[in-house]
């Protein structure tokens, strides 16, 4: 515990847990999109990403297959403009039915 100059003691664990992480927009925002492996999975992810970041550079995209080849992860970086953009992007990716996770 840390002594607060104004009032007794406060628990730093609860303070830091209550504060959300701070992101300054716009920023480069890394994403990892995981889904079932398919030849067109990366292309379908790219189609969606371009809607939210028209300057998205697909040449920097990394596609990694899982050890057994059942899944693929697409690693990219987009220009994030705000939380509403990211929420809509995540929702559209999940709505494809092909995406299992967006990190």
CA gap 37, 51 in Å, rounded: 22
Calculate the alpha carbon distances from 33 to 12, 28, 45, 66, 73 in Å.
Answer: 34, 16, 8, 13, 5
Is residue 6 a part of any domain in this protein?
Answer: no
pLDDT in tens, 40-81: 999 999 999 999 999 999 999 999 999 999 999 999 999 999
Residue 31 has a CB neighbour count (10 Å cut-off) of 19
Q: Strand, helix or coil at 92?
A: helix
Are the C-beta atoms of 46 and 61 separated by less than 8 Å?
A: yes
CATH number at residue 57: 3.30.70.260
Start-to-end CA distance of the chain, whole Å, equals: 33
Is residue 66 a part of any domain in this protein?
Answer: yes
pLDDT at 35: 98
Predicted confidence band of residue 11 (pLDDT cuts 50, 70, 90): very low
- Who wins on pLDDT, 93 or 15? 93
Is residue 2 a part of any domain in this protein?
Answer: no
pLDDT at 29: 96
* Structural domain harbouring 43: 24-102
* Tally of domains within the chain: 1
């Amino acid at each position: 515990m840390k002594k607060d100059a104004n009032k007794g003691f406060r628990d730093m664990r609860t303070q830091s847990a209550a504060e959300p992480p701070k992101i300054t927009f716009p920023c480069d925002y890394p994403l990892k999109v995981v889904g079932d492996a398919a030849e067109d999975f990366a292309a379908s992810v790219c189609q969606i990403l371009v809607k939210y970041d028209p300057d998205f550079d697909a040449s920097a995209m990394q596609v990694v297959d899982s050890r057994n080849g059942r899944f693929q992860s697409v690693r990219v970086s987009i220009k994030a403009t705000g939380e509403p953009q990211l929420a809509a992007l995540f929702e559209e990716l999940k709505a494809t039915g092909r995406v299992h996770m967006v990190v």
